[in-house]
Amino acid sequence: MDLFAKTEKQHNYDVAREKNIYPYFHALTSGQDTVVQMEGHRTIMIGSNNYLGLTSHPEVIAAGVEGLQKYGSGCSGSRFLNGTLDIHKALERELAEFLHKEAVMTFSTGFQSNLGIISGIVGMSDTVICDKENHASIYDGCRLSFGKMLRYNHNDMADLERQLASVPEERGILIVTDGVFSMSGEICNLPEIVRLARKYGARVMVDDAHGLGVLGAHGRGTAEYYGLENEVDIYMGTFSKSLASLGGYMASTRRVIDYIMHTSRPYIFSASITPASVQCARKALEILIREPERVKALRDIGDYMRAKLDEAHIKYIPATTPIVSIYTYEDEKAFTACKLLLERGVYVNPVVSPATPVGKALIRTSYSATHKREEIDEAVEKIREVWNILGIE
């Protein structure tokens, strides 16, 4: 059979295009902000992970320009060899201090971070146990490792304990969970995960891509939110969300970091983060530390959105984060809602099966600390109008 035969079959994306409701790859003609230019039109952006509103901050932009001018456009090699700059090490020191961890190592992307961490630490004699709603990069990291992967039902601690109890004592165990689940905005049950990890001798890794800058009084993430900063063995996170740049990181003990730096193939064989990206992330971290009120502003705007949806009798997944996922139930209605909202100047993201169970399709909305309430009011009014057209209850 021809390898390319599969490409000639009709797929869901073909059907969406035929119905003129294809929702992907819309082009911005401006930078990320609460209001953007998308394909030539003013659009309220409630589908971005620019949580602290720093992608357009003049200090962040200036820092990136400075990095580009001093160090050039790229590093031309991996961190393992010629691609380490003094600013890479500075970013790692600053982030380790902020997160109250001994050491940090950085990766070229957030996705690559999970690939590199999990495959670097989980070996043939180990087991990794995952929440079923973990990010795709976690699952790909598990596949890249030589360990055995088990899954537990989403935030189901009884099921997690059942899986832990099934692992032979001689095997090492890593429990991996999203801190904030990216599709629903729900927060993991970290206190119970930590308790079970202690009981069964497991280690805990939290993917805090959507937790850094979002949770905790200082924005340190899920562990700070729960008061468990000394109980998480590995933090993973990204620079592409709250820190307004590109790249990812791992925070842990010096010994664990040193081990993964010498065993992680995605780390060893990838080019290092570009100088401009490093300097943007450093400046964004500096602003987060200097202005922790941004974290509260972000929480407040998420709460305001939920209150407005309640007033409009629009159903969403209950959460306390800046991710607010609204039910359309049917996949086609999710695609159609995205199209109609974009025509009315509001950008949102569709979430359909298999990312959600059949009949539980969503539009995923997310917010920035810099959103204005009048922008939220306008967006909710447009959502209410579209929901009435589509007959969504």
- DSSP assignments along 257-298, one per residue: HHHHHTT-HHHHTSBPPPHHHHHHHHHHHHHHHH-THHHHHH
**Token pair for 382:** 């447009």
Q: Are residues 386 and 253 in the same domain?
A: no
Q: Which domain holds residue 44?
A: 5-56+292-390
Q: Are residues 174 and 240 in the same domain?
A: yes
CATH assignment of the domain containing 300: 3.90.1150.10
Of 259, 290, 321, the one marking the end of a domain is 290
User: How large a percentage of the chain has pLDDT more than 70?
Assistant: 100
Looking at residue 357, what is its pLDDT?
Answer: 87
Looking at residue 76, what is its pLDDT?
Answer: 95
The one-letter amino acid at 12: N
Q: Which residue has the higher pLDDT, 356 or 148?
A: 148
CA 193 to chain centre: 20
Classify 52 in phi/psi space as left (phi over 0), alpha (psi -120 to 50) or beta: alpha
Across the chain, mean pLDDT equals: 97
Answer yes or no: are the C-beta atoms of 152 and 159 closer than 8 Å.
Answer: yes
Would strands 323-329 and 361-366 be described as parallel, antiparallel, or unpaired? antiparallel
Residue whose tokens read 């359309």:
328
Looking at residue 354, what is its pLDDT?
Answer: 86
Q: Are residues 281 and 262 in the same domain?
A: yes
Q: Are residues 112 and 250 in the same domain?
A: yes
Nearest alpha-carbon partner for 233 in 94, 103, 88: 103
- Tell me which of 241, 283, 333, 382 is the catalytic residue: 241
- pLDDT per residue over 143-197, tens digit each? 999 999 999 999 999 999 999 999 999 999 999 999 999 999 999 999 999 999 9
Residue 182 falls in the annotated catalytic set? yes
Residue 263 neighbours by CB under 8 Å, 6+ apart: 120, 121
- Tell me which of 101, 210, 283, 333 is the catalytic residue: 210
Would strands 41-45 and 346-347 be described as parallel, antiparallel, or unpaired? parallel
CATH assignment of the domain containing 94: 3.40.640.10
How many whole angstroms separate alpha carbon 138 and alpha carbon 148? 13
Looking at residue 16, what is its pLDDT?
Answer: 92
Q: Are residues 103 and 118 in the same domain?
A: yes
CA 117 to chain centre: 16
Residue 355 scores a pLDDT above 90? no
Half-sphere exposure of 245 (CA within 13 A, CB side): 33
User: How large a percentage of the chain has pLDDT more than 90?
Assistant: 97
Q: Are residues 50 and 67 in the same domain?
A: no
> Residue range 319-346: average pLDDT?
97
> Residue range 210-228: average pLDDT?
98
**Token pair for 381:** 């009014």
Q: What is the dihedral of CA 340, 344, 347, 353, to 10 degrees?
A: -10
Residue 245 falls in the annotated catalytic set? no
Q: Are residues 156 and 256 in the same domain?
A: yes
- Tell me which of 48, 113, 119, 182 is the catalytic residue: 182
In this prediction the pTM is 0.96
Looking at residue 234, what is its pLDDT?
Answer: 98
Residue 210 falls in the annotated catalytic set? yes
> Residue range 3-29: average pLDDT?
94
- pLDDT per residue over 251-281, tens digit each? 999 999 999 999 999 999 999 999 999 999 9
Of 290, 325, 344, the one marking the end of a domain is 290
No. of helices (H) and no. of strands (E), the chain: 15, 13
In degrees, rounded to 5, the angle at the alpha carbon of residue 365 between the alpha carbons of residues 360 and 367 is 155
